[in-house]
């Protein structure tokens, strides 16, 4: 491996430092792998810029913060948590000696709640700003305000906050003009070349599922370059990645048997995986794996797109697709959609092949399509989000007039207003009364309830179920439901798939499929899906004590990864509850209390059965249907609450529970 001083950033070092010391804000652009994330904090530290405080480098994702900090602690020969540390949700590895800190945007926003001036930092580097994640966007505004305030308070020059915005794309004018025409500095070149290949227009025309195409490409790369570096594959989401992992495991067997090829080791990487499972992709191969000549194939979402360096990657196979959140403020419907990535993302992804040596990237779309159909940059997440949690977070940060916040790009006013309305209805926020001080802005503030809600890293309604659970003596049950709601894919898809197969009469698998369905029936409850989740949690929890979690899940066709994750989340939430002095009581075998609590928390998501057996949601009077996966599908109760709306061919309610009619009157009185 070439010595790190060969990184392109080293030739720009003096020039960069000159600007960093004289200009309060700088924007840095450089190709991926030029050395920005790792070396700029180091340069600043060595040059004594910001020596009065800590140099912070923010990351949009936790794996990035952890792996970069770990790498840099090694480079600077210090123990992680000493000179170099990191802080991510639920994990803080820093000490009072930490001078270079990598942290997620979310963590810093939470820190800003108690310290809006972010006083402990002398330099704040906002990394991967081009990704325009929701948290990054708010952080930009918060940091800008902290910088202005610290200046206006006339702090001594050593207390001035330096801001560096880093981006891997050229479209940075927005950042520069947002920060008062900050200078834009370029880091030219990259250490290793990456050769890119596209499929031809003819190949692209062949009707083919992109997942299938991706699998074929992986095998081709493997066969064409038998004893070479590993492969990183970009796909869009958990389900698809898990299915690809299964396919590759099968393929690997036949490759080894029939063609005498080395085997493939498929490793998934996506954000819903537990932190330990994510780290498997970053683990160096052990001797046994090396001896066997196993080639690792990391199958990732865009989580591996920025800031991370996965060992030994030489090839990137890019499906060109990305799953994106979309939101319709009129109906309140939020949904995920698979779209083409942006050109900037494609570039980032190919860059992953050239971090440790020369690499190759296979794009599974044609050049023509790329030129014509792919957007230049990724659209800011804030512009397509349900803003409830964002607005609550902003208000809790003391940003009372959200409509007037200095957004780098303003979300639609309708979305902001809808979020404010819902939060007022949930009584999480209230209008601030003018306190008579000149210049004080009138806006919203958190209510007592809102303060409690904002302590939980949860969607406001979920946090509210815990509040009511505490009041009504069924907090323990609510914790179980909320943690199960916080994870996806609770059922073991292999079993589920067998159930599908069985419908096509693949007899050999039929026995097991019926068994799966029978097993799952004990997790069903006539009152709705959420009590079903509670039953599932209780069952697993009780039986886990008798046998291993793995075994309970296996025998009941459940997904151990998701259940384990739900248990972790539950433990973390329980800790917050206990810190508030709450008691974890359970309602036992009766579910009335739990159901009523759920209703009170979800009452903004009520749907009533109208004429022609159709449901209308009470908030927007939109016609909605009960999702086929719900136990209440086709049962037609007169009133229901739902957890979320998803839009496919119709607008479906998911996570549906029956509401007793008398509650509707009672609660609203």
Site for Mg ion in 502-521 (CB under 5 A): none
**Of residues 540-579, those binding Mg ion (CB under 5 A):** none
Q: Which residues in 304-343 contact Mg ion (CB under 5 A)?
A: 307
Rounded distance, CA 156 to CA 576, Å? 38
Could you tell which of Mg ion, ligand ADP, none binds residue 33, using a CB distance below 5 to 8 A set by kind? ligand ADP
Residue 536, phi then psi, degrees to nearest 5: -65, -45
Burial 359-372 (b: 16+ CB within 10 A, else e): bbbbbbbbeebbee
For ligand ADP, the closer CB: 67 or 556:
67
- 392: closest CA among 412, 414, 416? 416
Q: Which is nearer to ligand ADP, 67 or 483 (CB)?
A: 67
Compute the least distance from the CB of residue 64 to ligand ADP, in Å: 9
* d(C-alpha 590, C-alpha 541), whole Å: 18
Q: How far is the CA of 419 from the CAs of 385, 447, 619, in angstroms?
A: 10, 15, 12
Tell me the closest approach of the beta carbon of residue 7 to Mg ion, in angstroms: 11
Give first-to-last CA distance, the chain, whole Å.
71
Residues 6+ apart with CB under 8 A from 472: 593, 596, 597
Binding mask 12-51 for Mg ion (x = CB under 5 A): ------------------------xx--------------
Q: Would you count residue 169 as binding Mg ion (CB under 5 A)?
A: no
- C-beta of 44: minimal distance to ligand ADP in Å? 13
Which partner, Mg ion, ligand ADP, none, binds residue 637 by CB below 5 to 8 Å per kind?
A: none
470 binds, among Mg ion, ligand ADP, none (CB under 5 to 8 A by kind): none
Angle, vertex CA 22, rays to CA 19 and CA 28, nearest 5: 30
**Which helix (H) or strand (E) covers residue 233, if one does?**
strand 230-234
Query: Going by DSSP bridges, is the β-strand pair 162-167/194-198 parallel, antiparallel, or unpaired?
Result: unpaired
State how far the Cα of 279 lies from the Cα of 283, in Å rounded to an integer.
Answer: 6
- Footprint of ligand ADP (CB under 6 A): 7, 30, 32-39, 67-68, 71, 307, 309, 355-356
Q: For residues 36 and 570, which CB has a smaller minimum distance to Mg ion in the complex?
A: 36
Residue 12 CB, shortest distance to ligand ADP, in Å, is 11
Tell the smallest beta-carbon distance from residue 349 to Mg ion (Å): 14
Q: Nearest approach, Cβ of 37 to ligand ADP (angstroms)?
A: 3
Residue number, 213 or 347, with CB nearest to ligand ADP:
347
Looking at the DSSP bridge assignments, the partners of residue 233 are 299, 317
Please enumerate in sequence order all residues whose Cβ is within 8 A of that of 275, keeping only pairs 6 or more positions apart, or say none: 62, 63, 66, 91
Binding site partner of 101, from Mg ion, ligand ADP, none, Cβ cut-off 5-8 A by kind: none
Q: Looking at residues 280 to 309 of the shown chain, list those that interact with Mg ion (rule: CB under 5 A).
A: 307
- Which of ligand ADP, Mg ion, none sits in contact with 225, Cβ below 5 to 8 A by type? none
Residue 284 Cβ vs ligand ADP, minimum distance, rounded to whole Å: 10
* CB of residue 47 to ligand ADP, shortest distance in Å: 17
Residue 260 phi/psi, 5° resolution?
60, 35
What is the rounded distance in angstroms from the CA atom of residue 276 to the CA atom of residue 288? Answer: 21
Q: Which is nearer to ligand ADP, 226 or 358 (CB)?
A: 358
User: Is the Cβ of residue 60 or residue 320 nearer to Mg ion in the bound state?
Assistant: 60
622 contact partners, CB below 8 Å, separation of at least 6: 331, 616, 651
Q: Which is nearer to ligand ADP, 354 or 469 (CB)?
A: 354
Residues contributing to the site for Mg ion (CB under 5 A): 36-37, 307
């Amino acid at each position: 491996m070439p010595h790190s001083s060969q990184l392109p950033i080293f030739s720009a070092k003096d020039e960069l430092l000159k600007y960093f010391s004289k200009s309060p804000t700088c924007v840095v652009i450089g190709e991926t792998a030029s050395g920005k994330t790792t070396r700029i904090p180091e340069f600043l530290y060595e040059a004594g810029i910001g020596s009065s405080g800590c140099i912070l480098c923010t990351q949009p994702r936790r794996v990035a913060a952890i792996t970069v900090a770990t790498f840099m602690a090694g480079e600077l020969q210090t123990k992680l948590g000493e000179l170099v540390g990191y802080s991510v949700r639920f994990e803080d590895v820093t000490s009072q000696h930490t001078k270079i800190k990598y942290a997620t945007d979310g963590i810093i926003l939470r820190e800003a709640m108690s310290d809006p001036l972010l006083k402990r930092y002398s330099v704040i580097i906002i990394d991967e700003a081009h990704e325009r994640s929701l948290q990054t966007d708010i952080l930009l505004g918060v940091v800008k305000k902290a910088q202005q305030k610290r200046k206006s308070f006339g702090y001594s020059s050593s207390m001035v906050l330096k801001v560096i915005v880093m981006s891997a794309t050229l479209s940075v004018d927005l950042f520069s003009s947002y920060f008062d025409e900050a200078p834009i500095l370029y880091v030219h070149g990259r250490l290793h070349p990456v050769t890119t290949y596209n499929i031809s227009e003819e190949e692209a025309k062949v009707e083919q599922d992109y997942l299938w195409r991706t699998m074929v490409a992986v095998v081709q790369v493997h066969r064409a370059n038998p004893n070479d570096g590993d492969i990183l594959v970009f796909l869009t989401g958990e389900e698809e990645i898990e299915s690809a992992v299964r396919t590759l495991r099968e393929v690997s067997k036949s490759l080894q048997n029939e063609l005498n090829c080395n085997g493939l080791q498929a490793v998934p990487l996506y954000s819903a995986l537990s932190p330990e499972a994510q780290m498997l992709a970053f683990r160096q191969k052990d001797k046994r794996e090396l001896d066997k000549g196993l080639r690792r194939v990391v199958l990732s979402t865009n989580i591996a797109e920025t800031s991370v360096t996965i060992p030994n990657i030489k090839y990137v196979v890019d499906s060109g697709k990305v799953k994106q959140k979309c939101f319709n403020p009129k109906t309140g419907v939020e949904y995920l959609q698979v779209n083409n990535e942006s050109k900037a993302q494609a570039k980032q992804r190919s860059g992953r092949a050239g971090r440790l040596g020369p690499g190759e990237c296979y794009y599974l779309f044609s050049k023509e399509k790329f030129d014509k159909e792919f957007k230049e940059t990724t659209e800011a997440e804030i512009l397509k989000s349900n803003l409830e949690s964002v607005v609550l977070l902003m208000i809790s940060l003391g940003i009372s007039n959200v409509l007037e916040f200095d957004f780098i790009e303003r979300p639609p006013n309708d979305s902001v207003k809808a979020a404010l309305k819902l939060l007022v209805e949930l009584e999480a926020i209230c209008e601030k009364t003018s306190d008579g001080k000149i210049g004080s802005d009138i806006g919203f503030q958190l209510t007592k309830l809102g303060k409690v809600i904002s302590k939980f890293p949860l969607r406001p309604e979920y946090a509210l179920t815990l509040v009511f659970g505490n009041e009504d003596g069924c907090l323990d049950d609510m914790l179980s439901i909320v943690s199960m709601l916080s994870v996806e894919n609770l059922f073991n898809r292999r079993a589920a798939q067998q159930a599908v197969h069985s419908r096509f009469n693949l007899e050999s698998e039929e026995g097991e499929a019926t068994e799966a369905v029978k097993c799952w029936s004990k997790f069903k409850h006539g009152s709705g899906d959420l009590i079903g989740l509670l039953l599932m949690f209780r069952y697993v929890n009780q039986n886990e004590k008798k046998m291993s979690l793995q075994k309970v899940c296996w025998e009941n066709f459940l997904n151990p990864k998701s259940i384990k994750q739900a248990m972790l989340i539950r433990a973390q939430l329980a800790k917050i509850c206990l810190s508030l002095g709450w008691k974890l009581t359970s309602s036992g075998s009766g579910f009335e209390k739990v159901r009523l609590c759920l209703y009170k928390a979800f009452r903004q998501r009520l749907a009533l059965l109208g004429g022609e057996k159709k449901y209308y949601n009470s908030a927007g009077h939109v016609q909605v249907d009960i999702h086929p996966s719900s136990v209440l599908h086709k049962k037609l109760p007169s009133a229901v609450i739902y957890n979320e709306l998803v839009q496919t061919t119709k607008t479906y309610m998911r996570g549906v529970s029956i509401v007793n009619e008398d509650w509707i009157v009672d609660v609203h009185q």
